[in-house]
Structure 1
């Protein structure tokens, strides 16, 4: 849904004629909330991303969701890590959206480091069920 811009961000709701009280990003409170801003123009989401997948900080400009997926799929010499990186990236997107919703509706907030550690724990747990256990290749 993030790739297709189908998430109900403030920008998407406004485009459908639904106005909300606070259209600002719930992470940085500086720019209008859009899918592109949430993933990964916002400093909060970008810091979470590069903490878990440091290779993505090598972009000249911050990547969007499609660019990051293409990059992860084409990392040279990283075929063994591709499933891990894809799982990790999907977990990042999911948790960022969930954190956004928690900030918007439950008025709770986590710092980007805490969120990254939480994502890493969940990915490690998921990896523990994989056939080949290469947990040593993942550290946060």
Structure 2
């Protein structure tokens, strides 16, 4: 993503992370989707629920969601080294 001059949109982020190895591509797509979902939830909680979480807490939520999903994958333990 560092080679993007402007802020990339979601499709550009998916294209940038597409790799020949489908397992690492799936992992990167999972990370992007998890980040989008949790940021959206935090935005809604702040706007409608009067609840605030720090950026560190939000990062930990994203990380734990990715790890929980990876552990359910067939070869998820082998992908841990990519993180």
Question: What pairs up with 1:25-104 in 2 under 5 angstroms?
Answer: 56-73=1-18, 75=19, 79-104=22-47
Q: Which protein is richer in helix relative to its size?
A: 2
The root-mean-square deviation of aligned C-alpha atoms, in Å, is 1.7
Q: Which runs of 5+ in 1 are unaligned?
A: 1-55
C-alpha separation between the residues in 1 aligned to 2:3 and 2:57? 23
Segments of 4+ moved more than 6 angstroms: none
Alpha carbons of 1:114 and 1:57: their partners in 2 closer, same or farther (altered >3 Å)? farther
Q: For the structure 1 residues 96 and 79, does the alpha-carbon distance in structure 2 shift closer, same or farther, using more than 3 Å as the test?
A: same
Q: Distance in 1 between matches of 2:34 and 2:26?
A: 12
> How many residues in Structure 1 have an aligned counterpart in Structure 2?
81
Query: If the length of structure 1 is used for normalisation, what is the TM-score?
Result: 0.52
Name which one, 1 or 2, has greater alpha-carbon Rg.
1
Using CA pairs under 8 Å that are at least 6 residues apart, name the structure with larger relative contact order, 1 or 2: 2
- Normalised TM-score (structure 2): 0.82
What is the alpha-carbon distance in structure 1 between the residues aligned to residue 26 and residue 45 of structure 2?
28
